[in-house]
Amino acid sequence: MGLLQEKLAKYDLPQQYMAMGVYPYFREIEGKQGTEVNMGGHKVLMFGSNAYTGLTGDERVIEAGIKAMKKYGSGCAGSRFLNGTLDLHVKLEKELAAFVGKEDALCFSTGFTVNSGVIACLTDRNDYIICDDRDHASIVDGRRLSFSQNLKYKHNDMADLEKQLQKCNPDSVKLIIVDGVFSMEGDLANLPEIVRLKHKYNATIMVDEAHGLGVFGKQGRGVCDHFGLTDEIDLIMGTFSKSLASIGGFIAADESIINWLRHTARTYIFSASNTPAATASALEALHIIQNEPERLEALWEATNYALKRFREAGFEIGATESPIIPLYVRDTDKTFMVTKLAFDEGVFINPVIPPACAPQDTLVRVALMATHTKEQIDSAVDKLVKCFKQLEIL
């Protein structure tokens, strides 16, 4: 055994939880993701998905992907920079830019590579990147790859954000990067105050709309639209793997920023372009979202009902304002245990432990879809009450 193997063989934390029978990851789903999924030969209520619009199993989205594969093949065999650009990619970019209210957009193969590639190349050594300390891991990795000076502020603490801005050279670029909806806690960024500070300190703002697109704003245009601040936000990022029922991501901004990114973002230039099927599926989902406002209404009806039920049952759910509902456990072992108990009861939820949260903030994450029924929500709440009480969390 080599030195690397010897070192990594000492990592046995997953095996410890497997031995306890509560290891919660890589659970196999045997069909389409919907409000119910097939797992181990029986149906389980799915409350762990990011498919807020409920479109992952929609026949129109599936058929769009099939048609694109028949026309363009299974892949593009190269990067967008060289031989991998389809007219379909360009069409999606134009429609996304118009949807989120920007001049232009670029599509990437995953949402993670949007943030890790864009953030890394926007600013230089003399500039600053300023992030909320609960920003997504892809934002964290993007700023780590940048040569710029990195600053963090306490979660949604605008006084602390201002302190960080005061540390910056006034003549340097100051890029504030924030999640529109925080993916674990479900609360929103304080964009009105961030915009005020932008003007006070001549900063630039990038908002990650991964969990806002298809959920907030007119026709699901996102948190920036929800606050009426689209024109004040310099860069808007989004993903396809949630409301758009596919895989991939995009960045939207003015033409000068997109022109720079198109020729310098390494995860764009050196990654194979998104598949025809994934691109067409995202495009069709975008059309459905815009043409079916009742889908957004159903999502919020389900969300508000679930929030009410969880609060009435006595769960600690924090400051969430979205279809993401954290149920705080505040103990890693119990977080895994309650996830297993819930699954045994037929409810799929996701455990959240460090580094996705602080050690004292471990939780299980419940997420709503437009297609969830009140009966399904009632069943899940009742079963989760039973599981939480069994472990004396509730």
pLDDT digits (tens, 9 = 90+) for 43-52: 999 999 999 9
Number of H helices, E strands in the chain: 15, 13
Answer whether residue 13 is part of any domain.
no
- Identify any residues that bridge with 307 across adjacent strands, giving them in sequence order: none
In this prediction, residue 41 has a pLDDT band, given cuts at 50, 70 and 90, of: confident
Same domain, 132 and 170: yes
Answer whether residue 374 is part of any domain.
yes
pLDDT of 98: 98
Domain boundary residue, one of 289, 311, 343: 289
Average per-residue pLDDT for the chain = 97
Same domain, 159 and 134: yes
Same domain, 276 and 191: yes
| Nearest-angstrom CA–CA distance, 13 and 19 | 10
Q: Which residue has the tokens 């080599």?
A: 2
Helix (H) or strand (E) holding 71: helix 59-72
pLDDT of 238: 98
Mean pLDDT of 190-205: 98
Same domain, 218 and 301: no
Same domain, 235 and 367: no
Structural domain for 303, as ranges: 21-51+292-389
Provide the number of structural domains found in the chain: 2
pLDDT at 355 exceeding the cut of 90: no
pLDDT at 270 exceeding the cut of 90: yes
| Nearest-angstrom CA–CA distance, 54 and 313 | 26
| Nearest-angstrom CA–CA distance, 133 and 364 | 20
pLDDT of 357: 87
Answer whether residue 141 is part of any domain.
yes
Answer whether residue 7 is part of any domain.
no
Instruction: Report which DSSP code applies to 346.
Output: T
| Nearest-angstrom CA–CA distance, 322 and 356 | 18
pLDDT digits (tens, 9 = 90+) for 97-153: 999 999 999 999 999 999 999 999 999 999 999 999 999 999 999 999 999 999 999
Same domain, 97 and 235: yes
- Answer left, alpha or beta for residue 34, where phi above 0 means left and psi between -120 and 50 means alpha: beta
| Nearest-angstrom CA–CA distance, 351 and 336 | 6
Can you give the CATH number for the domain in which 353 is found? Answer: 3.90.1150.10
Same domain, 284 and 339: no
Answer whether residue 339 is part of any domain.
yes
DSSP helix/strand/coil, 214: coil
Answer whether residue 6 is part of any domain.
no
pLDDT of 166: 98
User: For the residues of 279-294, what is the DSSP string, one character each?
Assistant: HHHHHHHHHHHHH-HH
Answer whether residue 278 is part of any domain.
yes
Mean pLDDT of 342-347: 97
Same domain, 132 and 171: yes
| Nearest-angstrom CA–CA distance, 152 and 99 | 30
Closest residue by Cα to residue 88 from 217, 281, 258:
281
pLDDT of 290: 97
Same domain, 313 and 249: no
pLDDT at 260 exceeding the cut of 90: yes
Q: Which residue has the tokens 């509560």?
A: 22
Same domain, 268 and 313: no
pLDDT at 359 exceeding the cut of 90: no
Same domain, 259 and 306: no
Mean pLDDT of 289-305: 98
Q: Which residue has the tokens 């455990």?
A: 351
- The dihedral sign for the CA sequence 175, 181, 186, 189: positive
The pairing of beta strand 174-179 with beta strand 128-132: parallel
Same domain, 26 and 77: no
In this prediction, residue 318 has a pLDDT band, given cuts at 50, 70 and 90, of: very high
Mean pLDDT of 21-30: 96
Answer whether residue 4 is part of any domain.
no
Mean pLDDT of 71-77: 97
pLDDT of 358: 85
